[in-house]
Structure 1
């Protein structure tokens, strides 16, 4: 197994970090926002600077245009309000073909970086005990959904991608599922640390970084797309994004003598990297759309009540909107199971009812995130609670009570 060395990334990566927007008054030109805390922020800003320079458009960086969000994240509705009020464009907006938010009132440019989720290990690390079968992943992200598809492993859910990598480096986890730009950012911050990278096989792990605009930003979108096309044709885009580019797995597999255990890395070499259990089954992607979600640490409280009629209605909604991926019996098909110990363990749950509801209401169904009414999502949540052993009561579950619930999702007694 060969390690991916980050030394060759450092110069190019720091060059990207050193790029800054031209000194323009904050009120002048196009206002560009990036997501706070995103590992690709340095790249997003560098690409934005070059794109607007190419398009001959004055632009300024708005540092605090997008809030951090709360435990339910930053919703598409909130981002829609941000565009036009605080920002004219968002750089570094993550999109996938499965959950593309096409029904929202937002416009998107062509992609400037194709990326995705990878499996990483630390060469020389020797996790002991339970850590040998532990996979780290960021809580309430596509990484967690992919990791949930593993068999015979425990999950170490972390608040950020960086902490997921740290779990591997520190020996708390054998490996981690991480968004690739986070791996690059970690390498730039820790150039002496070597990591082995292998792909995941989930089709839902594939993402692109784009520019996002409000519904009235059609003219700006066209100019940005034209600038991206020019930069792609003359090689500037490839130069800017090369340090962040996902290893070319398909090209590696097509080379003579290569097999499923060979992957291409950033320096163009093909190395053997077969990790135990790295072939993940497909998992439905969470259209994070820039959400940064924290693990709830509130004290355990009583679960919000729901009634049986709405649980029955939730079952009907689930059958039409969720069962295709999660299974008619919530057993999981191409997406994680929504009942049983992986979802609602008997004790020591990582998920909260509010976290699951906010995650679902913002990002599901994967093909049309947020398409249902708030009360419909509440009814589906009632069905999920009932299916995991919670008892119905006399009061109906509302979206508000579901969203604010800090109760850990431990399985209730069988009904």
Structure 2
């Protein structure tokens, strides 16, 4: 909500002023951005003006956040960073999909809606198989969104810049990509043109915010007030105009499910996401830059599982998956694996076999496919159990869960 102080009743305004005055001022707050983020320059520009408006001295730390490993940066790592190297993170991406409710982080209001979009290059001329190819960044929300689409070939790239480049050079008909990456690519290649459309998916909507650790959580109200001021006087719009998603993409995201966005975004780090709904053929799946064909045919039937393997799956999940998905499957730096975003009451966008096949082929992100097929089946049993499915007498096997096209609705 954007309210200037002159619109707040006098008593409330006085209380707000006293509350701000009671926050101890910090000298030389250290601000970090994510390394390699295409929005890093914008994040620094916004942070300079916001902290100046708030009257908080700030300096930027170049290497406060490490590059992490192949499965991203965990909340534990971020908590450690904010306790040691940084006071605030600018450009923290948040979405509605994961709830990092166990995090120690505090978040400001959003300063830029920066979602995932579908792009094409009208000047490119894809030939042959490229006409049916969609590019996406490996182990990211872009891949998650792309594989929801039927009968395509998926070109997995290692960076968002390479994903955009695949479209520009005609290697793919289109790409699912984070919009700031499109802006950064056009800044580096001014002659390149793209048509931009919405990537209609619950995983597409994101905002950039400031994240605070426990030491600086008290600054959040002052930063929100500064963001409100910059928004009300037009300065925030001026700074973000070149990075704002096209109106058609924003309108289609909002029309997808207005209730999903009513209460604002919730935490999810943008660099990595995991669970996918489509069935992926195993061929060529180990090459991050290779092609993976989306299969649309499989046998149907919800697979049975027993309690023992669900218990074993929980142990495997804790060691291999909880870092990104959370100990309670609540989502941390990857989507939640429990609840309506993952297993809705009806009209699921995931299938049981699709989730298993993606998981067994692409996870964990730091070493895809490193487990045995039966171990992945046990993890799948744990996920089903955690979403309301009841164990039976038969043990789930890799073959019967892979073959299942049953929608992943919440179990009864």
- Give the TM-score normalised by structure 2: 0.64
Q: Is the 8 A contact 1:117 1:180 kept in 2?
A: yes
Partner of 1:113 in structure 2?
Answer: 112
Instruction: State the distance in 2 between where 1:380 and 1:332 align.
Output: 23
Alignment of 1:183-332 (within 5 A): 183-249=182-248, 288-291=268-271, 310-313=308-311, 322=338, 324=340
State yes or no: 1:389 paired with 2:399: yes
Say if 1:120 and 1:197, in contact at 8 Å, map to a contact too. Answer: yes
How does 1:76-87 map onto structure 2 within 5 Å?
Answer: 76-87=75-86
User: How big is the shift at 1:218?
Assistant: 2.7
Contact 1:119 1:198 (8 Å CA) reproduced: yes
The answer on whether the counterparts of 1:339 and 1:388 sit within 8 Å (CA) in structure 2 is no
Partner of 2:53: 54
Contact 2:120–2:194, Cα closer than 8 Å, also in 1: yes
Aligned mates of 1:66, 1:380 — CA distance in 2:
31
Report if the CA contact (8 A) 1:32-1:61 is conserved. yes
Partner of 1:175: 174
CA, structure 1 residues 322+386, in 2 after alignment: closer, same or farther (shift >3 Å)? Answer: farther
Shift of 1:59: 0.5
Stretch of structure 1 that moved more, 92-101 or 168-177? 92-101
Q: Determine the C-alpha separation between the residues in 1 that align with 2:151 and 2:203.
A: 22
Comparing 99-108 with 29-38, which one deviates more in the overlay?
99-108
Q: Any idea what SS the aligned residue of 1:95 has? A: strand
DSSP-derived class of the 1:43 partner: helix
Query: Is 1:147 the counterpart of 2:157 in the alignment?
Result: no
Cα distance, 1:386 vs. partner? 5.8
8 Å CA contact retained: 2:118, 2:196: yes
- Residue 141 (structure 1) shift: 1.1
1:334 is matched with 349
User: In 2, Cα distance between the equivalents of 1:95 and 1:201?
Assistant: 17
Shift of 1:122: 0.6
Q: What per-residue deviation string (whole Å, max 9, x for no partner) do you get for residues 165-214 of structure 1?
A: 11111211110001111111111011011111111222331111000001
Q: Which moved more, 1:201-210 or 1:110-119?
A: 201-210
CA distance in 2, matches of 1:341, 1:97: 23
Question: What secondary structure sits across from 1:221 in the alignment?
Answer: helix
Q: Is the 8 A contact 1:117 1:205 kept in 2?
A: yes
SS in 1 for 2:51: helix
Secondary structure at the aligned position of 2:240 is classed as helix
Q: Deviations over 1:34-78 (max 9, x none)?
A: 000101001000000001111111100000000001112110111
Aligned-pair distance for 1:81? 1.1
Cα gap change, 1:388/1:327 in structure 2, threshold over 3 Å: closer, same or farther?
farther
In structure 1, the residue matched to 2:8 is: none
Please give the alpha-carbon distance, in whole angstroms, between the structure 2 residues aligned to 1:326 and 1:100.
12
RMSD (CA atoms): 4.1
Deviation at 1:28, TM superposition (A): 5.8
CA contact (8 A) 1:40 1:92 kept: yes
Distance 1:48 1:100 in 2: 25
